[in-house]
Structure 1
């Protein structure tokens, strides 16, 4: 379980809160603070409502074991600077596989997030390529695939693994929709406002799906409803974005703030205006996983999950053996068995698993390169 550095203080007027900022914190701009100690790496804290949260320490770990931290954070007078290898620190599908010919490759990203983000007069249109970064240094893409069609659902849907990511031609692993596998500083239990999972390139934070206990931000109405960029404002957090599972644009619909153009060359010619939904009916995804039972499970326990297969729907002949890999959301199976067309997997659901969100699943057949990969969306939900 991920335990982040977290400071809280009572909800009081701004001038009182300022006096309660920990003495070892240095304010560097906006909601950002740094804690520096001789001989140690600085730790960056973000004032998220009534909390000072260490967003990045968990994600600095060397996930691909090359001796380089996955995420490295620094700052100058105007920007928080994030250097990243863009390498996922959660389980992924094997790439290449039968549905994606690309491999995940280590990147060398350097992103500048404005320390004091400002709302713009006009919406900046999202370019292709990176539009923001998750806390783990993996980038967000807009909801379209390279031909400009919806990558998340409908006839043009592309194959994303259970963590909602995949690599493109140059090996950049990225997310097109809510990346449910990204660790946040506190568990998203559906009983409060979701935690931060990343930042857009205008410097505004991106939160998980919940606005309050049992209420998703995508369902808000009236003055507090999300705008076309997937953002809104409240007194505690100011302007911020939310992911919207199952609803276009899923992550961002446009930049509401002033964007730092060095983060993506496409921003210099991006134009203005929010994206519009062009989802086409139907699907090209093979329906090989018929059912997943049970569809819900409690946290803190190991569960036996059954996947009923319809092999006749597969594009390639499925081996008669059991799958080499089974994954639901960020949870991979410890034991896998198969009897006929029913696969049984033993999966541990940790105490800090996100609650109430529908996870995707995927199975792989073949332990070598280029396995046969099958998946099914929105099949499993964690409950208390």
Structure 2
């Protein structure tokens, strides 16, 4: 997740640079990178009600709208914007492609467990898993570098969108709202206007057939933040075969390095399952829903987009797991910083306790590690507590 402070400051600076009628104090604030939150609302508040709706925001601010909207009333107030900035001001953002030296943040007293590449499904790896010394944020780090096509093999990918409002849940995937998971049956599609209290929703035609992006052209037009107007009110379904030649390269530290400060996600994957499929940051639901489109996950927590092929936004227990010797939950993959990601529930059905802000904690056997979030939470892990590697996608 992008660092909220950075998002707010970036948007504020953009707006500040556009304004020419500033008094001396405002100009001083601009020089120091501290334009006022009031200025932001003034520039974006099109209906002049003193707050920002999601439709009034744009760019990076819109990306994290739900995180800043702490009371979930659908608006950003001056207090919420100011509070978000204040709460994050001591955490410098991790800017993508900027080699910030994190050496001083490494905590060598924390027990860490090296990545075990034997856990990966070998036939899903393209070529060999190599060891290379890579400069990660100013630190020379021995890393595993490997490539995959991000195609699941333990389970069928899909289905996603039903074709008719009479179709049952077996013909479609899942969606999420308020930490709950919903089956995207035809009935669910037919009642999206009630589900979201918005009468502009109508993803189906008069004959009951559902509007689905059933071509690669439709996928490319709808599966992006600025959805083409012609594909508003569609169920967005992209198929893995559209992007079967894409190659994802993972660079992950062989032995993770625990950092005293947390790191926000960049634009790439946040980790990888043992089948070589990416774990991705939260799905951009604000952009999807703003166009009255819905992009279901399949029952395994995955869907497809043009910028990474098939990937997971939720963990539902469908992929390879590494059993533990005690009642601890199974290991299901690795975060991009090399720390293990474990399932949410242990063998007795209990959730982990004392999780930190990223969704991780320590124990004597596994050292520091993460636990996947609730399937309906749209967040597998919340941030990184280790020196991050990275992913690259090429067609």
TM norm structure 2: 0.44
More strand by share: 1
Q: Which structure exhibits the higher relative contact order, with contacts defined as CA atoms closer than 8 Å and separated by 6 or more residues? A: 2
TM norm structure 1: 0.45
More helix by share: 2
